[in-house]
Amino acid sequence: MTGSVVIHEGDWQALGEAAGEIRRRVFIEEQAVPRDEEWDGRDPECVHFLALVDGRALGTARLLSDGHIGRVAVLAEARGLGIGVALMEAAVEAARRRGFTAVELAAQTHALVFYERLGFRAEGEVFLDAGIPHRNMVRRLGD
């Protein structure tokens, strides 16, 4: 992979096939998240982001209508290339364009430092989601 990261923003109809495949591989196969928890029925209401390098879909994220960012996933072979950062920057910018003053997410605890580097602050206690430890995080959006 030699190209730069290109982020596409769109709805589930446009990006869902590729985004869903990435989420299936990362969450259902790699992390053993139950299918019925991964497919929560909220995708049609979300703005989706798809990261491509050299035309290949390698990462995804979604922005819910309440300002939560979720389902951030990068294929194992593409981690460490800046794809997660590019996805998060796109999601935060989309939230800003929609008038949100903050964005929130539930981070897997192993990823807390990643999100902290992007300006998120952990709040509350650790909780389990799909059997995986998480913590809620928030980032205030300045002007």
Digit-coded pLDDT (tens) for 100-125:
999 999 999 999 999 999 999 999 99
- Pairing state between β 132-140 and 102-108: antiparallel
Residue linked to tokens 């939230």: 95
Indicate if the pLDDT at residue 143 is higher than 60: no
Q: Both tokens of residue 31?
A: 């992390």
pTM of the model: 0.95
**Secondary structure class of 20 (helix, strand, coil):** helix
- Residue 128 is predicted with a pLDDT of 94
* Residue 141 buriedness (CB in 10 A; 0-12 / 13-18 / 19+): middle
